[in-house]
Amino acid sequence: MNVIDRDTARAIPPALDEAQHAVVPPAERQQSRRLKPLLSLLPYVARYRWQAIAALMALVIAAVTTLLVPIAVRRMIDFGFSRESANLIDSYFAVMIVIVAVLALASASRFYLVTTLGERIVADLREGVFGHLVSLSLAYFDEAKTGELVSRLTADTTQIKAAVGASVSIALRNSVLFIGAATMMVVTSPRLSAFVLAAIPVIVLPLYGFGRAVRRRSRWAQDTLADATAYASEMIGAVRVLQALIAIFLVFASVVVVLWVGAQDVLTGRMSAGRLSQFVLYAVFAAAGLGQLSEVWGELSQASGAAERLFEILNLRPAIVPPLRPIALPEPPRGEVAFVDVRFSYPARSASSALGGVSFVVRQGERVAIVGPSGAGKSTIFHLILRYYDPSSGVAKFDGVPLVDVDPLALRRRIALVPQEAIVFAASIRDNIRFGRPEASDPEVERAAELAHALEFISLLPEKFDTTVGERGVTLSGGERQRIAIARAILRGAPLLLLDEATSALDAESETLVRDALGRLMQGRTTLVIAHRLATVLSCDRILVMEAGRIVEEGSHQTLVAAGGLYARLARLQFQP
């Protein structure tokens, strides 16, 4: 399910079709740089607007109180060291203590608020990206790399968390501090300000170029990972350090010049010692602010590259979407399937045909097997029934309604699938079975397990149904995992059952138990079986024999054996010693 809300969706740029894959053309990447990809995060920040406003207020208070320190120092030097004003020292020190206390409180509040804000935004972003990923059709995952997607969900969001949780706050604080300090420098001494401010263009102008280099290397690092990541990270770090060193060196060099010129002014009486001290402190604040701003610029550029990669995923539009006016499936459900001259090619292999003019009908309550050599198109039929893909031409129907006119979620609620390799999650057995129907009660879950012959091994586990089975059900045997999958299908109670030969990789004892469970599952349901071992098709009403994407034979086991075609040849290979 897509968890991106409407406000966020409106802020995301127009979507790309999955046919364009996850790779954005270079021209579009350049455009996204000009539009600053980090701005795409604003809808996520808006969800916590009051926390963001509070953090901004704390940031401004901290910066303003910092700028008050030089004024207090100036007055203390100019007026606090004379005999007749000795009592002013105590007053100014008291004021300094209050300023420091306010500064500490505001800084602590800012740190707490921006840290929690970063965590919440990244949690929402990860949820949004993951929710959007699972809404994409199989055509996208045919070409996408799992490691690449995991990297985007983890490494890229970590980059963004660092930016939102710290770098943005530091950049804003130092921007306010630098602007405020530069302004107060001009107010204090326009003449001396010229020496310091003259160094600023030399610092700021390279930042844009450095930022683009960092953004480019950051994206390269995230895209190529491994050794390239280590090398690019060193390059990024070098650029960041270089920026900070240049900024600090130039501004502090200007401060040295200011001290020399200012000392001359103090000696000649054109400036008081307190005023010079105030100016120097503001110059130091400006240097520190600009130096840190140069450093976080690189971090923000890295986060910009990460945001760009994440929003490439969010901008993808699923190839399979619900129709604008979906047709409701009839009630009560029958579970009938019909293919009429269906042709199909996988998007990743568009040059080769997976199905070529396939037509068949499966009636309510009928058991139909699909057999054939590998690559014949058996699994493709299941993919089209589940509407993971749409046919290139022809019509596929469920209960008389064309699948393209049905909401995919409504369709899949009426289908239960037992794959060849059961999917078991790192959760409890109860939760794994309940995955078939999340609203099911505990007694219903336990009854489904009993019908699937799963209760026999579940009762021997230390925590029974609450036992966690590990990642991919690593603590269970193959037969136990299959019985969990069958229990899940029983609990679902769907009118159409799709079986991708669930016993082909099991030992004899497990196969017997699973076959019995499957027999109970198929009772009263329309069933389509992909058979790898022909022994499983003997009880089916009809058999569809496929070869090279076409149905080449159809009939019962006896009829097909007597016909002497492909099925008879397969039967001889499996049944004769």
Looking up residue 373, the CATH number of its domain turns out to be 3.40.50.300
pTM of model > 0.85: no
Task: Tell me: pLDDT of 26 over 50.
Answer: no
Residue predicted with more confidence, 163 or 178: 178
Looking up residue 105, the CATH number of its domain turns out to be 1.20.1560.10
Distance CA 369, CA 170 (A): 65
Do 291 and 383 share a domain, yes or no?
Answer: no
Do 295 and 382 share a domain, yes or no?
Answer: no
> What integer pLDDT is reported at residue 168 of this predicted model?
74
> What integer pLDDT is reported at residue 29 of this predicted model?
43
Distance CA 133, CA 139 (A): 12
Proportion of the chain above pLDDT 70, given as a percent: 70
Task: Give the CB-side neighbour count of residue 555, counting CA atoms within 13 A.
Answer: 14
What are the structure tokens assigned to 274, written together? Answer: 């307190």
> What integer pLDDT is reported at residue 28 of this predicted model?
40
> What integer pLDDT is reported at residue 173 of this predicted model?
79
Do 195 and 164 share a domain, yes or no?
Answer: yes
Residue 95: pLDDT band with limits 50, 70, 90: confident
pLDDT in tens, 473-519: 677 777 778 788 888 888 887 888 888 876 655 556 666 766 777 77
Do 167 and 265 share a domain, yes or no?
Answer: yes
What are the structure tokens assigned to 100, written together? Answer: 């420091």
| Residue 407 CB neighbour total at 10 angstroms | 16
Q: For residue 51, what are the domain limits?
A: 19-25+38-317
Closest CA to 117 of 153, 62, 160, 149: 160
Q: Tell me how many degrees the CA angle 413-318-407 measures, rounded to the nearest 5.
A: 30
DSSP string, 404-430: GGS-HHHHHTTEEEE-SS----SSBHH
Residue 51: pLDDT band with limits 50, 70, 90: confident
Task: Tell me: pLDDT of 6 over 50.
Answer: no
Cβ-based burial of 252 (10 A; exposed 0-12, middle 13-18, buried ≥19): middle
> What integer pLDDT is reported at residue 434 of this predicted model?
84
Task: Tell me: pLDDT of 353 over 60.
Answer: yes
Do 259 and 345 share a domain, yes or no?
Answer: no
Do 421 and 556 share a domain, yes or no?
Answer: yes
> What integer pLDDT is reported at residue 577 of this predicted model?
53
> What integer pLDDT is reported at residue 23 of this predicted model?
41
Boundary residue ending a domain (267, 289, 317): 317
> What integer pLDDT is reported at residue 154 of this predicted model?
73
Residue 4: inside a domain, yes or no?
Answer: no
pLDDT in tens, 422-477: 777 878 888 888 877 788 888 888 888 887 777 878 888 788 888 887 776 677 77
> What integer pLDDT is reported at residue 226 of this predicted model?
38
Any idea which of 79-83, 145-149, 228-232, 567-571 has the lowest mean pLDDT?
228-232
Q: Average per-residue pLDDT in the chain?
A: 72
CA 406, 407, 410, 412: dihedral to nearest 10 degrees? Answer: 90
Strand order in the sheet with 367-371: 415-418, 496-500, 526-530, 367-371, 542-547, 550-555
Q: What is the mean pLDDT of residues 176-183?
A: 80
Ramachandran assignment for 301, one of left (phi > 0), alpha (psi -120 to 50 degrees), beta (any other): alpha
> What integer pLDDT is reported at residue 464 of this predicted model?
80
Q: Is the dihedral of CA 375, 566, 386, 430 positive or negative?
A: negative
Do 358 and 484 share a domain, yes or no?
Answer: yes
Distance CA 60, CA 293 (A): 16
Do 290 and 393 share a domain, yes or no?
Answer: no
Distance CA 451, CA 437 (A): 16
Do 277 and 407 share a domain, yes or no?
Answer: no
> What integer pLDDT is reported at residue 317 of this predicted model?
79
Proportion of the chain above pLDDT 90, given as a percent: 0
Residue 330: inside a domain, yes or no?
Answer: no
Task: Tell me: pLDDT of 348 over 60.
Answer: yes
Query: What are the respective helix, strand and coil percentages of the chain, to the nearest 5?
Result: 65, 10, 25
Residue 424: inside a domain, yes or no?
Answer: yes
Residue 342: pLDDT band with limits 50, 70, 90: confident
What's the total number of domains in the chain? 2
pLDDT in tens, 225-251: 434 444 444 444 444 444 555 555 555
Residue predicted with more confidence, 319 or 445: 445
> What integer pLDDT is reported at residue 118 of this predicted model?
78
Boundary residue ending a domain (289, 317, 345): 317
Q: What is the mean pLDDT of residues 197-202?
A: 61
Residue 10: inside a domain, yes or no?
Answer: no
> What integer pLDDT is reported at residue 239 of this predicted model?
47
Residue 328: inside a domain, yes or no?
Answer: no
pLDDT in tens, 515-536: 777 777 777 788 888 877 776 7
Residue predicted with more confidence, 65 or 3: 65
Q: What is the mean pLDDT of residues 12-36?
A: 42
Do 303 and 414 share a domain, yes or no?
Answer: no
Cβ-based burial of 449 (10 A; exposed 0-12, middle 13-18, buried ≥19): buried
Residue predicted with more confidence, 421 or 264: 421
Boundary residue ending a domain (266, 285, 317): 317
Residue 143: inside a domain, yes or no?
Answer: yes
Do 350 and 305 share a domain, yes or no?
Answer: no
> What integer pLDDT is reported at residue 415 of this predicted model?
85
Residue 64: inside a domain, yes or no?
Answer: yes
Task: Tell me: pLDDT of 203 over 60.
Answer: no
Task: Tell me: pLDDT of 46 over 70.
Answer: yes
What are the structure tokens assigned to 337, written together? Answer: 């399937």
Do 302 and 403 share a domain, yes or no?
Answer: no
| Residue 108 CB neighbour total at 10 angstroms | 12
Residue 13: inside a domain, yes or no?
Answer: no
Q: What is the mean pLDDT of residues 553-573?
A: 80
pLDDT in tens, 273-290: 667 777 777 777 777 777
